[in-house]
Structure 1
Amino acid sequence: MAGKVTQRKGAASCSRDGGRTGRVQVESRPGVAAGAERGVRGIGRSWGARLLRRALPVCFLFASFSPCGAEEQAYHTTLAGEPGRVTFMGQIVEIPAVNRADMTSITLGASFLSPARGQGPIIPVAAFYHRRITDRSYGRAMVAIFVNELEYDRDLGGWDLVAQFENGTLPVAERELRDGEEIRGSSLNYGTLLGSLGVGWRLPVAPFQVDNDLRVQLVALGGYFYAHRETDSAPGLWVPPNTGLYGARLRCRYDGMRRNLLELPHEGMAAGFDVDYLHRDRWRAEAGSADDGNRNYAQAEGHLVGAIGVPGLSERNRLLLGLYGGFTAQGRGDRFNAFRLNGGPFPGEQYDLAWPHYSGVIYDRVLARGYATATAGYRRELAFFLYLSTLGSYIWADRSSAVGDDRVDFKQMHGSAATVALDSAFPWKSSLYLAWSWESGVLRNGRSGNGVTLIWNKLF
């Protein structure tokens, strides 16, 4: 469904839209481990490790050249939550069912950038995730201490009571980029706390898993925005006043996606949109501005994500597509209400699907007043617990950029990215994500570069 800055000194990778929302940028795959890891262990404890070490190179070697015979055509990928039985290296592996309605997990990882983005080559990520769904309620929490996202929906007999809370309040300053370098004078500490309360309507849809539904929500928004200088802030840098936030949001979500054993999109589509209107109560325009400094603004964003099979090939082969776009009406965007574009794994979890996605390293400091991204890819199931993906992305963004040492403005940029990723089950009810990415320059605002991402997800 929906979820939407940086992290330094071990803080979680997350997003804060100043005066807008705070959205944790962590790929959540809560059901990854329970079935897959137990299944791998079912091969045999005494020689399981040796088997995996020998099997992985074999899987890679033959994955792309396996014949498309009758047996391959009849292959069935084990899907999220369902029990299964597979034959691996001549052994029968039993995969137990998993209750996907009640999930708790943690995510730890990092991206390593070359060249570094600004002064930091490492971007860490950490978060706690919980989801609980019953016949009468829906609860979800993504917690990363300073950046959190909570939602609780309660069925009132045909209608839902919807309560949400989001915050992005990292205790570190944020700097803007120019030609790949951080501009110290743009350093500013700011954050947002935003709550919402309203009504919603929910309808289960095919394939009728716990995360397949159509939702419409209308909520009132209320919160607080703050900003203050840091030691490095330039004397002429615009610092907006602390202010209350008031507004409304219309949200629509459709999720007809079926996930595989590692909670990756397998078949189906998901789509949706958000329309936000916010009023910043005590707001002051930047010096020299002829208007009210974007005191009131409206924003809209939408997404379409899909996964399908490859004609003539087995279920092991999947095609992926992700389209995202957003705009700020009348160009009334600024550094503090801009969209934050997310890199990282191709989304799969219900809320992750709605985050603006641009293939690449985990990074969400690309601020934009408007954007459009398209991602297409191919995934191959190397083994029932192991998937190899290749992805390509294109982006247009009206991106923030430091102008001089004390001003932030926006400029239009185009870019592209490529990613090769490996998803695998791992011992201790966990999973691993390992990826290499190249990006043409939007991420670093003018400099192309590479990155390696490693994420570990542990299910409790």
Structure 2
Amino acid sequence: MSGTGRAPNYHVPQFMTLAVALLLLLSDATISGVMAADEEPTPLAGEPFHTEVLGEPVKVPPRDRKKVTAASFGISVLPEGPKFYQVLPFGAMYLWRNSDDMKQRFRATLSGPVNDMTMNVGSHSSSGWELRLTFQNMIIPVGRSEYVEAQIIRDVEVEWNYVFGGIGLAYRKLLDPGHQDNAFEVSLTYEPGYRWFKGTSKTSSNFIVPTDTYEGRVHARLRNDALERNLMELPHRGYSFGGDFYYGNRAHWNDWGGGLFGVSSGQQGKQYLMGSVFAVSATPVPFIDSEKHRLIGSVYGGIGQHLDRFSTFRLPGRPTGYEWEAIALPMLPSVAFNELFPTRYGIAHLEYRYEPIFFIYPYVRGSWGIVEQPRFNPDGTVRNIMGSMPAVGGGVVSGAPWSSQIEINYSYNFGIFRDQGNGQSAQGRNGFFIFWSKELS
């Protein structure tokens, strides 16, 4: 997964448990809007912080955010979700290296079957221009079906894998407030790759397996990050926005598919266009003069032309995470990872977050999505329609033992379908996840 947390490095007394923090949340809230004269500022990521809690001194040492190695693990639970996704473990290693002069950077999320790596190399004489190298792969040697209204469609099961490299140019300029990940960056890369496919024992005999093919992509990318992040690496103030735009061309692409989804035109899918954008902002809560109350708003959108099952968007793209690159991937509550494959979507979130104590951040979130999804017709065939997906949820992000971080989340999506058994579906689905990460360096 790409939503990798970056666990802070700090030390707290043993008695600071989650129960104590929740007690403080109930008894010491500052909703009245009057900021205490001695209120301590929210500790920011990487900066030293000294305080007292219940008379005990707490010292948070400075942390070099330019060099991070973190391991993340989680589990997603969808009690009435699609088969094989109702309980899904996930995890990844996260690597980030930013040179002291911020002219060279390496970022990687590594999970074995799915990996994503980028390297930017510049110099003092290049005036912000850099060479950019990329690598992505997905090699999962098992068949994957698709889902319609939470019902598995076995007939279209197929193994599909890819490997893409990339080389191009990037331009980077540092931004206020001046942290190592605050920058404006644009890049243009050519990404040569290869896709290969294989049917399984579950694949219908009438299903036409796609042709193995070379695929070349042109990828234009924009990131503008002016966010200040708190101790838990959550957005505290500022904004971020950006987008990704692709033109792809396949060397060999014939008609493929069949069954409920029909046969897809090889001529139409040989070349495709797609673009996605995002924006995130973190602000104070109006009429409350306190740093401990924050509003985080975010929007995500994407649209494409001539997209198919293997080139289109996959939603949701991450479970959590707000670091420099993961923040660009959309979240969709109570939906299984990559369950939806729309050619167009729009998602908005509004989150209220409170800081009862310096390392605990409970939140509530409302979301609204307009997402293309497959739906059954009365005769059993399938059509793609735009449908609304309102959702509500909440959770808590907290420091945890061994200098780690944990997030616990619950959400309810009113628009996604749940599996009621016996081939029956109904709208509305619960979702839970627990996400734990620890910095290793």
1:197: which partner in 2?
167
Measure, in 2, the Cα distance between the counterparts of 1:374 and 1:319.
13
Measure, in 2, the Cα distance between the counterparts of 1:344 and 1:199.
27
Pick one of 441, 445, 451 that aligns with 2:431.
451
1:33-432 equivalent positions in 2, closer than 5 A: 33-35=8-10, 38=11, 40=12, 43=13, 48-49=14-15, 51-52=16-17, 55-62=20-27, 64=29, 67-71=32-36, 74-134=39-99, 135=101, 136-156=103-123, 157-158=126-127, 159-286=129-256, 292-311=267-286, 312-329=288-305, 332-342=306-316, 345-360=319-334, 363-400=337-374, 410-432=384-406
Q: Are the equivalent residues in 2 in contact too, given 1:372–1:396 (CA < 8 A)? A: yes
**Which is worse superposed, 344-353 or 239-248?**
344-353
Q: 1:385 to 1:125 in 2, by over 3 A?
A: same
**Which is worse superposed, 439-448 or 224-233?**
439-448
Q: 1:429 to 1:402 in 2, by over 3 A?
A: farther
Compute the displacement of 1:150 (Å): 0.2
Measure, in 1, the Cα distance between the counterparts of 2:204 and 2:233.
46
Q: Are the equivalent residues in 2 in contact too, given 1:130–1:141 (CA < 8 A)? A: yes
Compute the displacement of 1:60 (Å): 3.2
Amino acid at match of 1:166: Q
1:436: which partner in 2?
410
Q: What SS class does the counterpart of residue 56 from structure 1 fall into?
A: helix
Measure, in 1, the Cα distance between the counterparts of 2:315 and 2:67.
29
Measure, in 2, the Cα distance between the counterparts of 1:381 and 1:421.
13
Q: Are the equivalent residues in 1 in contact too, given 2:276–2:301 (CA < 8 A)? A: yes
- For residues 389-412 of structure 1, give each alpha carbon's deviation from its aligned partner in whole angstroms, at most 9, with x where no partner exists: 111111112224688999976332
2:260: which partner in 1?
none
Q: Are the equivalent residues in 2 in contact too, given 1:286–1:293 (CA < 8 A)? A: no
Q: What SS class does the counterpart of residue 114 from structure 1 fall into?
A: coil
Q: Are the equivalent residues in 1 in contact too, given 2:360–2:397 (CA < 8 A)? A: yes
Q: 1:73 to 1:180 in 2, by over 3 A?
A: farther
2:422: which partner in 1?
none
Structure 1 unmatched runs, 5+: 1-24
Q: Larger relative CO (CA 8 A, sep 6+): 1 or 2?
A: 1
> Identity of aligned pairs, percent?
26
Q: What SS class does the counterpart of residue 34 from structure 1 fall into?
A: coil
Q: 1:421 to 1:376 in 2, by over 3 A?
A: same
Q: 1:62 to 1:362 in 2, by over 3 A?
A: farther
Measure, in 1, the Cα distance between the counterparts of 2:326 and 2:18.
32
Q: Are the equivalent residues in 1 in contact too, given 2:2–2:317 (CA < 8 A)? A: no
TM-score by length of 1: 0.86
Q: 1:202 to 1:65 in 2, by over 3 A?
A: closer
1:19: which partner in 2?
none
Measure, in 2, the Cα distance between the counterparts of 1:171 and 1:443.
28
Q: 1:266 to 1:65 in 2, by over 3 A?
A: closer
Q: What SS class does the counterpart of residue 384 from structure 1 fall into?
A: coil
**Which is worse superposed, 232-241 or 54-63?**
54-63
Measure, in 1, the Cα distance between the counterparts of 2:115 and 2:138.
7
Compute the displacement of 1:205 (Å): 0.3
Compute the displacement of 1:104 (Å): 0.3
Measure, in 2, the Cα distance between the counterparts of 1:308 and 1:66.
16
Q: 1:33 to 1:404 in 2, by over 3 A?
A: farther
State the Cα RMSD in Å. 2.4
- For residues 315-341 of structure 1, give each alpha carbon's deviation from its aligned partner in whole angstroms, at most 9, with x where no partner exists: 110001110111113xx1111111012
Compute the displacement of 1:357 (Å): 2.3
- For residues 221-265 of structure 1, give each alpha carbon's deviation from its aligned partner in whole angstroms, at most 9, with x where no partner exists: 100111111111112223210000012111111000110000011
Q: 1:291 to 1:406 in 2, by over 3 A?
A: farther
Q: Are the equivalent residues in 2 in contact too, given 1:237–1:407 (CA < 8 A)? A: no
Compute the displacement of 1:70 (Å): 4.2
- For residues 36-70 of structure 1, give each alpha carbon's deviation from its aligned partner in whole angstroms, at most 9, with x where no partner exists: xx1x1xx3xxxx23x43652341232254665444
**Which is worse superposed, 231-240 or 298-307?**
231-240
- For residues 80-120 of structure 1, give each alpha carbon's deviation from its aligned partner in whole angstroms, at most 9, with x where no partner exists: 00001122223231111000000001111101112132344
Measure, in 2, the Cα distance between the counterparts of 1:198 and 1:405.
49
How many correspondences in the alignment? 423
